Amino acid sequence: MEARVRIYQFINTGICHGSVEGMTGRKGMVTDMAKQIKTIGVLTSGGDAPGMNAAIRAVVRKAIANGVKVKGIKKGYQGLLNEEIIDMEKWSVSDTIQRGGTILGTARCHEFRTEEGQQKGADICHKHGIDGLVVIGGDGSYRGAQALSRHGINTIGLPGTIDLDIACTEYTIGFDTAINTAMQAIDKVRDTSSSHERCSIIEVMGRNAGYIALWCGISNGAEDILIPEKYDYNEQQIINNIIANRKRGKTHHLIINAEGIGHSTSMARRIEAATGIETRATILGYMQRGGSPTCKDRYYASIMGCYAADILCEGKTNRVVGYQHGEFLDFDIEEALNMQKGIPEYPFEMSKVLSQ
Ligand code: ADP
Ligand code: F6P
């Protein structure tokens, strides 16, 4: 695994030049002959995530500070294929850092999964003088970036997803805001659940990953946390747990259910029938994905955006930026996509103890 660790070393110009080969143990300045980058593009792709605007802002302002022109591509790869391309100046990103969603818009684009679509996208980049592109999105968006890189457009991916399901990084843009939004909503559901002595199943997002459910489950003091990576579909055990807790005097019973398991409404019906305890399902949905980003999301997205602009301006391509063990790193896209990450065992085991 080759990962580069950037050292923030500011020389006269204020432009960052220093980098150290990190995980491989090799150290030294980047000296490879790189393609000269004059204009870069930036786009957001896949589901929007709070903090994407902070990342766009950082890419635009750092690239301009590096002497490079910036174009914004609207609505992800779909906008690229439709040539929805705008010039961006420093002021284009004014008053955006605190805003949720993405000022560039986003989309899912089936045509870009095809070889023809990818060739067309690269041709459009060439036509608009775009030598490099920052793609802010998830794994799927990285595949698109990889394809453009094969077609001669330098690409850098930034991890933009509330799901935290990108293996090469401990942090993804939007996760912190999403868990805080969900946590506050779940606290409110808990109030009414306790008042009515009900069981509440609260379904949170995360696609096939259980990170949002795990973090909220622990932070909201849930009695059960159901995540796709661990759930054995033993509903009887949950029913027994609800009955035992009620006997011990608990007035509420919170079940955080990841959307990768889903079916919260039918689960609520079955649990109510089996326990005789009123049970309600609440599906939090898109409210988890919107809203003003937290300080953490603004901070990390800003630094990652600068990092992406810097390595793109240096002529690097086919890389994604991540965060591990307190450091910002970049990885080859293919290596990043082949990495695996699981649910951390200790927090998951402790969640069972904490709610007893
Ligand atoms: P995310 O980036 O959040 O994982 P998606 O999986 O929906 O979200 O991917 C976003 C977009 O990236 C897709 O709509 C498509 O345009 C592009 N994309 C996804 N997979 C590929 C692929 N294998 N090759 C090229 N582009 C892809
Ligand atoms: O990837 C972010 C996410 O919100 C997932 O948690 C969810 O499964 C998915 O996007 C929903 O996507 P869409 O906006 O297409 O409904």
CA-108 nearest atom, ligand 1? 14
Q: Provide mean pLDDT across the span 135-143.
A: 97
Residue 102 neighbours by CB under 8 Å, 6+ apart = 44, 48, 49, 52, 53, 56, 136
Ligand 1 center from residue 46 Cα (angstroms) = 7
Q: Which of 102, 162, 172, 214 to mutate to test the pocket of ligand 2 (most atoms within 8 A of CB)?
A: 162
pLDDT of residue 309: 98
Sign of CA dihedral 295, 297, 300, 303: negative
Q: Is 163 a catalytic residue?
A: yes
pTM: 0.92
**Chain segment 334-345, per-residue pLDDT in tens:** 999 999 999 999
As a residue count, the chain comes to 356
Task: Say how far apart CA 277 and CA 293 lie, in whole Å.
Answer: 37
Q: Which two tokens stand for residue 340?
A: 């695996």
Ligand 1 atom with the shortest distance to the CA of 137 = 2
Distance CA 98, CA 94 (A): 10
Choosing from 48, 139, 163, 332, the catalytic residue is 163
Residue 44 C-alpha from the chain's centroid: 11
Ligand 1 centroid, distance to 45 Cα (angstroms): 7
Instruction: Tell me if 51 CB under 6 Å of ligand 1.
Output: no
Considering Cα of 329, then 106, then 340, then 293, what sign does the dihedral take? positive
Question: What percentage of the chain has pLDDT greater than the value 70?
Answer: 90
> 161: Cβ below 6 Å to ligand 1?
yes
Using 50, 70 and 90 to split pLDDT, how confident is the model at 33? low
Distance from C-alpha of 37 to C-alpha of 312, rounded to nearest angstrom: 8
